[in-house]
Amino acid sequence: MPQESLQALFSLFVVFAAAKVGEEIFERLGQPPLVGQILLGFLVGPGALHWVAPSPVLDFMAEIGVIFLLFETGLETQPEEILRYGYLSFAVALLGVVTPFVVGWWFAAAMGENAVTAQFVGTLLVATSIGITAKILEDFGATHTAFGHVILGAAVLDDILGLLALSALASFTSPRVKVANLLLTVAFVAGFVVLVLVLRRTAFPRVTRRLRDLRARAPIWSTALVLLLGFSAMSAYIGMAAIIGAFLAGMFVSERRDVAESVQAQASAVSSFLVPFFLANIGLRVSLGTMAHGHGLILLAAITGIAIATKLAACSLASLPLGRRSALLVGLGMIPRGEVGIVVAGQSLRIPAIPTSYYDIGIGMAVLTSLIGPLLLRLVLRPQRRPSVPGVSGRRVLRER
């Protein structure tokens, strides 16, 4: 076996084993298991033990992992449920984007940073990680609650609004980016979403009736995978995150309840292998180099504090019609930046006007918000164990008050 392949295989082994150990430890402690997976990823990475380092192979596994996570979430979500709270989701997304952007920009400018760096800091604080958010809702059994629908809808809209902010930031690296191109991207995104929802009702039911006549092995599961990969690729092609396409693919398949149920078990088995790579890879990318200096540590603490406070305040305020407790849960659920924050942080390395220290600060903020969000949610939610039912034992559910 070539040395590169051997190293990649070893990295996969270490990261997966570490993530599962972290999951088990935090389950036993009664804490969100995703926090343990992120922390153990940091432990085996360059920030601590140096057993493995970020690599294209691990990045790819993490990307596929979050795609399957969002596909699972989509399978359990009906568009009607999200649209029922569509106005609230839009208000949460809009206020939850504008507030962090403005405050982040103002803070960086007040610190004496140049205009490009100020816009970068604002953009860094904008988007919510729909991958982390979906995992939180799944762990607490809150996907089908009113605040869960609002969070998912707002997180999807956040990604689209964050796309605009990121495209505007990219204009500093490419002078060819124009307003017309940004508007065209938004039109493509809206058209793609509408087309998926229309075909879900018109074409998919007729297709599923013929699937059982196919002679290929597991035709329903194979068709679901084709839709998942196709929607994800198309989503990325038009400038939207691939995970949004995966989420739409799950909702597409959920039109037929019998089909969705047959796919769910297989999707869950695949996710149990792939999702740990997504979570551990976030911790793997944390570097303490910049944080070794007092100024960098203070800046990280300040930006993380702004990231938490602005999302919490803005999103809670926008969702007050749900009631104070649900509004607080929406605000907490929108805190994690996760993989979205990491993508934006990577843009700083392509723009000479931005100090390189902001890359590590951006990564650190994304990881800290991904850890703090679930922990704060646990203080508000009161999880309990479901009765011992095959296939669902050990899953947390929300105790109604």
Residue 161 dihedral angles phi and psi, to the nearest 5°: -70, -35
The domain 56-278+290-382: what is its CATH number? 1.20.1530.20
Question: Can you give the pLDDT at residue 395?
Answer: 47
Q: Which residue has the higher pLDDT, 352 or 280?
A: 280
In the predicted structure, residue 305 carries a pLDDT above the cut 70: yes
Q: How confident is the model at residue 172 (pLDDT cuts 50, 70, 90)?
A: low
Q: Where are the alpha helices (DSSP H) in 324-356?
A: 324-333, 338-347
**Would you call 91 exposed, middle or buried from its count of C-beta atoms within 10 A (0-12, 13-18, 19+)?**
buried
**Would you call 6 exposed, middle or buried from its count of C-beta atoms within 10 A (0-12, 13-18, 19+)?**
exposed
**Would you call 288 exposed, middle or buried from its count of C-beta atoms within 10 A (0-12, 13-18, 19+)?**
middle
The per-residue pLDDT for range 248-274, each reduced to its tens digit, is 888 888 877 777 777 888 998 999 999
Question: Can you give the pLDDT at residue 250?
Answer: 86
The per-residue pLDDT for range 71-115, each reduced to its tens digit, is 887 887 777 766 778 889 889 999 999 999 999 999 999 999 888
The per-residue pLDDT for range 16-72, each reduced to its tens digit, is 999 999 999 988 887 778 888 988 999 999 888 899 998 999 999 998 998 998 888
Average pLDDT over residues 204-228: 77
Map out the domains of the chain as residue ranges: 56-278+290-382
Average pLDDT over residues 331-357: 80
Q: How confident is the model at residue 186 (pLDDT cuts 50, 70, 90)?
A: low
Strand partners, 396: 385
pTM: 0.73
